[in-house]
């Protein structure tokens, strides 16, 4: 029996606005992601890549189509149910880091564990382990404002992995970094994937996408191509 994919989106439609002012962002996308994959989603501005990522990360809802996560149809889940999935199942890494500026590095990292009700001693232990994994164990007591951009993004990665999520969503994680810092961040993501973590990354940079094992391309809200190991497995752009 075939194993269920971790993520399965079918006929994904996302519209914004009403009546004559509707913008069609996603126009019927089918996409599955298996546990352990590292997938890059590419496309020009307005192609729908970030919207698709936000839907898969329970930050947005579909207007039509269906979304299954771990075999469960979550399309019609309540807001509270989606909040629990966000808390327990996913980690996020964003272009702008979204760190608490006047808090210590370790306090930023252990924040998801507070929301999950992890006891204080355990969450501090796990936060230190996560920061050690990204090479920042010497920055525990620094404020995030005292770090470089690359270090801030590594803190964000530590925060994303501290609760051992089922999938890490990264939205343009190198967008605010110089080339050298960006490569460090991408190598950390690659290492996390090699350790078994599932990663879905939005990027507009082909150099960044090549750190992943699979590249999905969107255009005008449709899936254009799906490449794995350099081979294109399907191309559905038709409009």
The 3-class secondary structure across 114-177, one letter per residue, is: HHCCCCHHHHHHHHHHHHHHCCCHHHCCCEHHHCCHHHHHHHHHHHHHCCCCCEEEEECCCCCC
Q: What pLDDT is attached to residue 21?
A: 84
Tell me the CA distances in angstroms from 125 to 110, 121, 136, 192, 225, one per residue in order.
9, 6, 14, 19, 43
Closest alpha carbon to 68 in 95, 32, 116, 104? 32
* pLDDT of the residue at 101: 86
User: Using one digit for the tens of pLDDT, what is the confidence trace for 149-191?
Assistant: 999 999 999 999 999 999 999 999 998 899 999 999 999 999 9
Q: What is the DSSP string of 173-191?
A: TTTTS-HHHHHHHHHHHHH
pLDDT of residue 17: 85
In tens digits, the chain (239 residues) has pLDDT values of 568 899 999 999 999 987 778 889 999 999 999 999 999 999 998 899 999 999 999 999 999 999 999 999 999 899 999 999 999 999 999 988 899 988 999 999 999 999 888 999 999 999 999 999 999 999 999 999 999 999 999 999 999 999 999 999 999 999 889 999 999 999 999 999 999 999 999 999 999 999 999 999 999 999 999 987 565 655 544 44
Looking at residue 172, its pLDDT comes to 94
Contacts of 82-89 with CB under 8 Å at 24 or more apart are 82/58, 83/58, 85/58, 86/57, 86/58, 86/59, 87/112, 87/115, 87/116, 87/163, 88/116, 88/163, 88/165, 89/165, 89/166, 89/167
User: Please, which residues have CB within 8 angstroms of residue 141's CB and are 6 or more apart in sequence?
Assistant: 104, 105, 106
Looking at residue 229, what is its pLDDT? Answer: 59
């Amino acid at each position: 029996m075939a194993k269920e994919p971790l993520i399965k989106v079918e006929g994904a439609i996302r519209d914004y606005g009403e009546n004559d002012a509707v913008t069609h962002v996603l126009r019927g996308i089918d996409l599955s992601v298996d546990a352990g994959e590292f997938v890059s989603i590419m496309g020009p501005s307005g192609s729908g890549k970030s919207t698709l990522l936000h839907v898969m990360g329970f930050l947005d809802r579909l207007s039509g189509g269906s979304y299954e996560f771990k075999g469960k149809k979550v399309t019609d889940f309540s807001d509270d149910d989606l909040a629990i999935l966000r808390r327990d199942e996913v980690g996020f890494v964003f272009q702008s880091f979204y760190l608490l500026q006047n808090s210590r590095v370790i306090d930023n990292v252990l924040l998801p564990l507070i929301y999950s009700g992890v006891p204080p001693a355990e969450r501090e232990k796990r936060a230190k382990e996560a920061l050690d994994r990204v090479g920042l164990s010497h920055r525990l007591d620094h404020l995030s404002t005292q770090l470089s951009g690359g270090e801030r993004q590594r803190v964000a990665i530590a925060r994303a992995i501290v609760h051992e999520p089922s999938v890490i969503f990264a939205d343009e994680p190198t967008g605010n970094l110089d080339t050298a810092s960006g490569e460090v961040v991408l190598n950390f993501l690659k290492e996390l994937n090699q350790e078994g973590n599932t990663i879905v990354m939005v990027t507009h940079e082909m150099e960044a996408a090549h750190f992943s094992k699979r590249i999905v391309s969107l255009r005008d809200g449709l899936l254009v191509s799906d490449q794995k190991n350099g081979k294109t497995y399907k191309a559905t752009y038709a409009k």
